[in-house]
Structures are given as structure tokens and as C-alpha cells.
Amino acid sequence: MAKVLFAFKTFVTAATLVSVVLGVDPNSSDGHNDLCAKIASTNKWVAPSDVRACFDSYKLDENIRSNIIEVVTKTLPFHTSVNFQRQAPPPFEEIHEDITGDLERISKKKYDSEYDMYIELSRAFRRLNDGHAGWINYCYVCPLSFSISSLKNITFPQDGLYINYLPLPLSLITDSDGQQSIRIAFEAFDVASAEFSDQIEFWQNTLPGALKGKLSSLSGAKVLEINGNEPWDAVEAKVAISGGYQAHTTRQNAFFASYQRSTTGWIYRLGDFAQESLHTFTLPYRSRVGPTAVDFADTTTWRQNNCLAVKTTNGVDAYANTTTSRRTRQHIKNEIMDDTALVNVALPPTITPPNPLNTSQSVSQFYVLDDKKTGVLALGSFSDGTAGFDGQVATLLTGLQALKAAGVQQLIIDVTNNGGGYVCIAHFLHRIIAGPKPTTEPQAGLYTTARAGPLARLISQTIAEDKLDPDRLLFYNSLYWSYANNTSFPPNYDWVSPVVPKIINGHQDAFTQRLGSECPPSTFNITAPPQAIFDPKKVVIVSNGRCGSSCSLFSITMVKKEGAKTVVVGGKKGPQQYSGTVGGQSIDFATVDTEIKTAKLKNNTLSPPDLIVNAVNGITWRLGYGVWNPNEPEEWQSRPADFNLAVTADISNNPLKIWERVVKVAFN
Ligand SMILES: *[C@@H]1O[C@H](CO)[C@@H](O)[C@H](O)[C@H]1NC(C)=O
Ligand SMILES: *[C@@H]1O[C@H](CO)[C@@H](O)[C@H](O)[C@H]1NC(C)=O
Ligand SMILES: *[C@@H]1O[C@H](CO)[C@@H](O)[C@H](O)[C@H]1NC(C)=O
Ligand SMILES: *[C@@H]1O[C@H](CO)[C@@H](O)[C@H](O)[C@H]1NC(C)=O
Ligand SMILES: *[C@@H]1O[C@H](CO)[C@@H](O)[C@H](O)[C@H]1NC(C)=O
Ligand SMILES: *[C@@H]1O[C@H](CO)[C@@H](O)[C@H](O)[C@H]1NC(C)=O
Ligand SMILES: *[C@@H]1O[C@H](CO)[C@@H](O)[C@H](O)[C@H]1NC(C)=O
Ligand SMILES: *[C@@H]1O[C@H](CO)[C@@H](O)[C@H](O)[C@H]1NC(C)=O
């Protein structure tokens, strides 16, 4: 039985398309004063202040406010972590967000514009520091990381209308005397002149005095001040609002440039400083229209084309008899959506690792180091958009076997900026490295639980009693899950009740029973080999700490169950966390809405209405329990790295040099 594989029907009915037809906007019918006409999408590059003026000009419509507040308020009971995030334990005590209280406040506060409300709602979610939970409105710039995942085969637009850039990615470099300094990245000019070729002259000409036209001379320069303050003040200002990861240090690391393996090549992540409107430095930020913005000319077309609900905003009744084609089968995902990493800026060729093994494919690249005994798997994601689920599974197996055949005895797995993907690929990679043993079979994952609010209970009960899901399309269908003893649930079983009550931070809450195995062998179209490929104690997992979701699930179980070691590259001196945003399974409002609609519960007063704006509300739907403390979620348990590798100028953003340094530090 393929429990976690599921087919999903495609259903787009007129009834599920919420459309709010905007006539001429009374506030912008005077074309002369239309502040959005100035940033019409035909102008690729504009000043951030003009983007802001357009956004500020749109008044908050009370119907939109009440719709957003009602949807989010009624979706939050499905987010596992609301009460945990009121106050996280050390070392994450910075997390203390009362999201329900904030929603209450935002529902009443007076705002000058819709954008002002958006910023507050988005920031409230960011304060959860949970890359799975967020509010993103594609009508606006969406400045930072946020996550969603969905069982639907939909690629979400991954960034906002405009994104602000500076041609100055920064690096944190440790000198030979151990002193750390923030520098303009050594590769800054190479990267910026390639990616922003149509804007670099603007910046060149803006540089003052003798620097004019000499942007390249700034590469490697030490940054002494940003806006008259210590550079670290700018880092901390950003860290306070960026969200995404629990650990303060991991959010600091996002400020700096880094690399990631993508489906098509090695990409360069500019870092939050170069990619966000935070301050004006000597150079002004410039705002570039996002690749997913739909063309617009003025306020009316901006609103119509970018701000209204689209067909994927809301869920659908999975059995509505309007099916024209079936969705492809999907696997459970747990992933962070990091909109800042998407710019396809290539890592400069001089620092791109050469000669991957010919078994390498897409996000999974294999290398043998010159010492001939160290192999490297560079893994940019647990979701390979090119090879697909089965393809990535096959690539991982043949790649590791090729490393073994090449005589490799120890393995580096570089998961820098890996934001997760398929849960069962994380389990599979662990299983093939470590071989069959009690920690990997029936699966290498964590026990999980879902939150059991009143509407969740009703959905589960209705689906079970009315046998509403014969094709197994819904997450509340018992056939997806198993008891804690790893025996599959029976069909039409209401697995959410009876609930397990729990008091968290003084608040009464309720969860489902503990769920066991979720990736049975039938999930995979190949059989895992009968022997371990590597000794897991000779595996070192390397990243900048930004290893989230399924990447966390993989790293944590490899470390805590198998004794693998971890290295965090760079970052401020002191303990660094090797992963974060563990979750268990991440979903979004549209997915919840599909469960509700298919269970015929949309009319229930507990159910959220359809959203009328082009936005996504991501949530953590299942939460994994800890390995070392199995009574509490893994999410807020500390995960300090074994080694904190100082980045010196000669290895900065150079994966091969970093791996060679890791060998010296972690294998000797
Ligand atoms: C136009 O502006 C007025 C006054 O600020 C406001 O009440 C109204 O809701 C706005 N209309 C739209 C469509 O934004
Ligand atoms: C669903 O549609 C198909 C073809 O469009 C039709 O044959 C079938 O009878 C319909 N079923 C129901 C329950 O309406
Ligand atoms: C699902 O997504 C993949 C990858 O983007 C795409 O190639 C495929 O056509 C999609 N399938 C459907 C049914 O939309
Ligand atoms: C890949 O490399 C191996 C070892 O060098 C070689 O035997 C094999 O033929 C190569 N395969 C392809 C498809 O190039
Ligand atoms: C498994 O899936 C991959 C990718 O779709 C395919 O190439 C391969 O032939 C499949 N293997 C088996 C044994 O079905
Ligand atoms: C169930 O699966 C979990 C996760 O793989 C494992 O830790 C546990 O030992 C299993 N329990 C039983 C009774 O098999
Ligand atoms: C697993 O637990 C369920 C529920 O307690 C029980 O019904 C079932 O018999 C157990 N299975 C095994 C193999 O112990
Ligand atoms: C909801 O209630 C309305 C009015 O009573 C009814 O027309 C509609 O069919 C109901 N919808 C669902 C999904 O039950």
C-alpha cells in the first residue's frame, strides 16, 4: 500500500474561483496622480521609495481586512506551534510571540494603508521564527524567508512584486589573528556585474568622488560603518525582524552571502544585506520588478493583476464532478520557502567546484576530493524539481555507490541553504547511508503529532464516518498514517479523537495521538540495499546553519541516532546551531481549505471563508517529537554544531576549499 503517495484531482470550478471584480479604483481614477503608474512593470528598475509610495497610496479596505483576519484566525488552530511560540525554551527564548493576540490587535488598529497592515501581519508571523509559518501577499514586496508546502502540484510564485538590491553582498571573514570583520564579498563585483548588467552603470555613477566608476575596487573592503553605526547593528536590526529560523546565529548568517546547489548549477545567495531595503548606504538600493509580477500599468491593473485571489489561493472539493485531469501523485513535504535565495545568480566560475562525478544530477552533486578518501555529496534540496521524487532517490543511491566504488571512506554532506523538501527522501538518504537497523526501519524519521482543534476533529470524524475519501486524497484520511507502534491505521478511522490534552505555556491545548512510520518501502520505486554504504560516524554534515525542514529531519536523526558530526561554516564566534525549523509537515491555507470543502464543512462557523486576496498562509501541520527528549517537540531543542569553521579570506564562498578545510577540522 502506498500510504504516502497520493493522487490529487485537478479541479477548477467556477465556484472555487473567488473573483472580486474591481471597477475603476475611485482612489486612482485621476491618472495624473496615480503613484503606481510610476512603477508600472515595464519599468524594470525603479527607486524603492517609488514602490513604497505606490503601496502607501492604497487605502485599507475594511472588507479585505476582515476577510484576511477571519481566514488567518480560523487557519491558525491547525498550526501546531501557536502556544509553544508564546515562549520558547532556551536557547531560543527570544521567541515569545502571541500571534492570536496580535491578530486581535491588527483587526482593530487604524492603518493608513493596506500595506501598513500587511507589514504588521507579516512581521507578527516572522516573530514566530518558524520558516513554515507565514503570511505572504503577492501584491507587495515580500521581504524575507517564509515557507509553504502543499500537496498540490503547484509552483507558488516565490517572491513579491519588487525586490530591492544593492550590488554589495557581504561576508564575515576571520583574519589570521582570529579577528572577525565584515567585508564586502571578494566576489561581489563579479556577481553583481553579471546579474545586474543593466543597472551596474547606475551604481557606478552614484559612487562618490574617486570611487566613481570603480565599484570593483570595493570587493573585499572592510565595512567599518553602516549608516554611521557599527556594521553589526545593521545585522542585528535585520535579525530582529527576519524570522525563518529559531536560532539568532542562523538569522545572522542569512545576512551574509553564501552558496547553494540548485537544479541547474551552483547559485550565489546575495544575503539579506544586498537583497533588502534596510538602510541607504553610500549606494542607493534599486528595486527590480519580480519575475512573477503580472504586468500592470497603474493602480487599477496592479490590483486586478496581482492582488486578487487566483485559482490556487483557496482549496476545492476534491470530489467535485468537474475533474478534467488528475494531479500527479505527490509526496509529503516539509520545506521552507526562501524567497531571497531564488535569484538565479551564478556562483562565479573561479569558485565553482570542478569535476562532479557523472552520477551527479541537478541538486545532488558528488565529488571525490584530492585525498581520494573523502567523498562529498552537495545537496541543495530534498525536492529535485528536475529529476522528481523517484529520480532524486535513484540519483542519491547511485551517487553514494559511485563514491564508495571510488574508494571513498568518509563523507561530507554539504547542505548549505537547503530548505528541505520531501520528508521521505530525508528518511531514504539516512536509510541508505546507515543501512537497515532499528533506527532506520521501518523508518528513519521522528514520531509526529498534529494539532487537534475543534474543526480538525470535525473533519477527521466526518471523513471517517461518511467515508468521504475513497481515493485517499486528504491528509485527515487515516490511511496516510500509523499508530506509534508503526502499524497502519485502519481505513475510515477517526484518528484525531480522542485528543491528547497538553498545557503549554499555561494555555490548554490538544493534539492527536502520536503518529509512527510514514514512509513505508512502497513509497520508493527501488529497494534500499541490504548494507550500509558508509559508517555514519564518518559522515560530517556541513552548512551555514540554514538547513531547515526535511534537511533538519535528516541532519538531526543522523546526528542524534547515528553519531554523525556537524560543521557550521562561518558565523559569529560562539556556538552555532546546525539546523532549525524542524516541523514535521508543512502545509498552507489552501490545503486546509481543500480538507474542509471535501468534508462538506465549509458552512460550519469554525471554517475560514475563501480568501479574496492573492496571499498564502503557511503553517506547520505536524510537529516532530525530539530524539533525546521524546516528550517535547524537537523544534525547540538545542542543536549546537560540533565544529564552527572560521571562514578565512582564502575559502570564503568557495565550496571545494571549504570541504578541504572541513576534512582537516572534522576528520582528524
Ligand atoms: C478610497 O479612499 C477612501 C478614503 O481614504 C477610502 O475610504 C476608500 O475605502 C478607498 N477606496 C478603495 C477602493 O480603496
Ligand atoms: C460526473 O461526470 C461524468 C462525466 O462528466 C458523468 O458521466 C457522471 O455521471 C457524473 N457523476 C455524477 C455523480 O454526477
Ligand atoms: C507537476 O509539476 C511538474 C514540475 O513542475 C510539471 O512538470 C508537471 O507537468 C506538473 N504536473 C501537472 C499535472 O500539473
Ligand atoms: C561515469 O564514470 C565511470 C567511471 O569513470 C565510467 O565507468 C562510466 O562509463 C561513466 N558513465 C557515463 C555515462 O559517462
Ligand atoms: C523509478 O522511477 C524512475 C524515475 O521516474 C525511473 O527512471 C525508474 O525506471 C523507476 N524504476 C523502477 C524500478 O520502476
Ligand atoms: C516505529 O518507528 C519509529 C520511527 O522509525 C521507531 O523509532 C520505533 O522504534 C518504531 N517502533 C516500533 C515498535 O517498531
Ligand atoms: C499497534 O497499536 C494498535 C493500537 O494500540 C493496536 O491495535 C495494534 O494491535 C498494535 N499492533 C501491533 C503489531 O502491536
Ligand atoms: C452552505 O449553505 C448554503 C445556504 O444554506 C447552501 O446553499 C450551500 O449549498 C451550502 N454549502 C455547502 C458546501 O454545504
Q: Is the CB of 493 under 6 A from ligand 7?
A: no
Give per-residue burial for 572-598: e unless 16+ CB within 10 Å, then b: eeeebbbbbbbbbbbbbbbbbbbbbbb
Number of residues in the chain = 668
Give the three cell numbers for residue 7.
493522487
**Side chain identity at residue 199, one-letter code:** Q
Query: How far apart (Å, rounded) are the C-alpha atoms in residues 118 and 34?
Result: 21
Q: What is the pLDDT of residue 293?
A: 80
Q: How far does the centroid of ligand 8 lie from the alpha carbon of residue 10, in Å? A: 22
Ligand nearest to the CA of 24: 1
Helix, strand, coil percentages (3-state) for the chain, rounded to 5, are: 30, 20, 50
Taking the chain (668 residues) in runs of 10, the rounded mean pLDDT of each run is 22 23 40 82 82 90 98 98 98 97 98 92 93 89 31 29 81 94 93 90 86 88 79 86 91 93 89 53 69 86 93 88 49 67 75 98 97 97 94 98 98 96 96 97 95 98 95 91 96 98 98 95 93 98 96 98 98 96 94 94 98 94 97 97 97 98 94
Query: Which residue's CA is minimally distant from atom 14 of ligand 5?
Result: 525
Which residues are within 8 A (CB) of 258 and not within 5 positions of it... i.e. 6 or more apart? 268, 269, 271, 416, 417, 544, 546, 570, 653
Give per-residue burial for 165-179: e unless 16+ CB within 10 Å, then b: bbbbbbbbbbeeeee
Between CA 358 and CA 369, with CA 364 as vertex, the angle to 5 degrees is 60
DSSP, res 536: G
Q: Is the CB of 27 under 6 A from ligand 1?
A: yes
Q: What is the pLDDT of residue 343?
A: 56
Q: Is the CB of 33 under 6 A from ligand 5?
A: no
Q: Which of these, 474, 460, 520, lies nearest to 152 by C-alpha position?
A: 474
Give the three cell numbers for residue 300.
487599477
**Any idea of the CA torsion for 301, 306, 307, 311, to the nearest 10 degrees?**
120
Query: How far apart (Å, rounded) are the C-alpha atoms in residues 128 and 99?
Result: 8
Q: Which of 155, 328, 384, 389 to mutate to test the pocket of ligand 3 (most atoms within 8 A of CB)?
A: 328
Query: What residues flank ligand 8, with Cβ below 6 Å?
Result: 600, 602-603
Q: Which uninterrupted H or E stretch holds 164?
A: strand 162-165
Q: What is the pLDDT of residue 330?
A: 65
Q: Which atom of ligand 7 is nearest to the CA of 486?
A: 1
Q: Which of these, 479, 449, 484, lies nearest to 467 by C-alpha position?
A: 479
Q: What is the pLDDT of residue 1?
A: 22
Q: Is the CB of 483 under 6 A from ligand 7?
A: yes
Residue 335 CA, distance from chain mean position: 5
Q: What is the pLDDT of residue 322?
A: 60
Query: How far apart (Å, rounded) are the C-alpha atoms in residues 500 and 508?
Result: 11
Query: How far apart (Å, rounded) are the C-alpha atoms in residues 457 and 191?
Result: 52
Q: How far does the centroid of ligand 7 lie from the alpha carbon of residue 174, in Å? A: 55
The answer to whether 506 and 407 have CB atoms below 8 angstroms apart is no
Q: What pTM was estimated for this model as a whole?
A: 0.86
Query: How far apart (Å, rounded) are the C-alpha atoms in residues 402 and 432?
Result: 13
Per-residue pLDDT reduced to its tens digit, 109-140? 999 999 999 989 988 999 999 999 999 888 88
Per-residue pLDDT reduced to its tens digit, 347-388? 999 999 999 999 999 999 999 999 999 999 999 999 998 999
Query: How far apart (Å, rounded) are the C-alpha atoms in residues 380 and 130?
Result: 20
Q: How far does the centroid of ligand 4 lie from the alpha carbon of residue 395, in Å? A: 14
Q: Is the CB of 26 under 6 A from ligand 1?
A: yes
Residue 324: Cβ within 10 Å count: 8
Query: Which residue's CA is minimally distant from atom 12 of ligand 6?
Result: 485
Q: How far does the centroid of ligand 3 lie from the alpha carbon of residue 388, in Å? A: 10
Ligand nearest to the CA of 319: 2
How far, CA to CA in Å, does 592 sit from each of 25, 27, 162, 455, 458? 32, 35, 29, 10, 13
Q: How far does the centroid of ligand 6 lie from the alpha carbon of residue 481, in Å? A: 13
Q: What is the pLDDT of residue 33?
A: 82
How far, CA to CA in Å, does 284 sit from each of 51, 170, 199, 297, 492? 14, 16, 12, 25, 60
The answer to whether 401 and 366 have CB atoms below 8 angstroms apart is no
Q: DSSP states of 602-632 as a string?
A: TTSTTS-----BSEEEEEEEEEEBPSSSTTS
Q: How far does the centroid of ligand 7 lie from the alpha carbon of residue 553, in Å? A: 26
DSSP, res 509: E
Residue in the structure block whose three cell numbers are 520531501: 422
Q: Which of 468, 603, 605, 606 to mutate to test the pocket of ligand 8 (most atoms within 8 A of CB)?
A: 603
Query: What residues flank ligand 3, with Cβ below 6 Å?
Result: 153, 155, 327-328
What are the structural domains, with CATH classification, of the chain?
1-27+146-242+273-286 (no CATH), 340-436+528-583+633-667 (3.90.226.10), 449-522+587-604 (no CATH)
Q: How far does the centroid of ligand 3 lie from the alpha carbon of residue 384, in Å? A: 12
Q: Terminal CA-to-CA distance of the chain, rounded, Å?
A: 45
What's the sign of the alpha-carbon dihedral 303, 309, 311, 313? positive
Query: Which residue's CA is minimally distant from atom 1 of ligand 3?
Result: 153
Give per-residue burial for 51-75: e unless 16+ CB within 10 Å, then b: bbebbebbebeeebbebbbbbbebb
Q: For helices 589-598 and 454-465, what crossing angle results, to 10°? A: 40
Query: How far apart (Å, rounded) are the C-alpha atoms in residues 129 and 595?
Result: 27
Q: How far does the centroid of ligand 2 lie from the alpha carbon of residue 322, in Å? A: 8
Ligand nearest to the CA of 330: 3
The answer to whether 54 and 35 have CB atoms below 8 angstroms apart is yes
Q: What is the pLDDT of residue 344?
A: 64
Q: What is the pLDDT of residue 229?
A: 75
Q: For helices 423-434 and 388-405, what crossing angle results, to 10°? A: 20
Q: For helices 589-598 and 62-75, what crossing angle results, to 10°? A: 80
The answer to whether 416 and 569 have CB atoms below 8 angstroms apart is yes
Which residues are within 8 A (CB) of 172 and not within 5 positions of it... i.e. 6 or more apart? 180, 181, 182, 183, 256, 570, 571, 572, 647
Query: How far apart (Å, rounded) are the C-alpha atoms in residues 333 and 342?
Result: 19
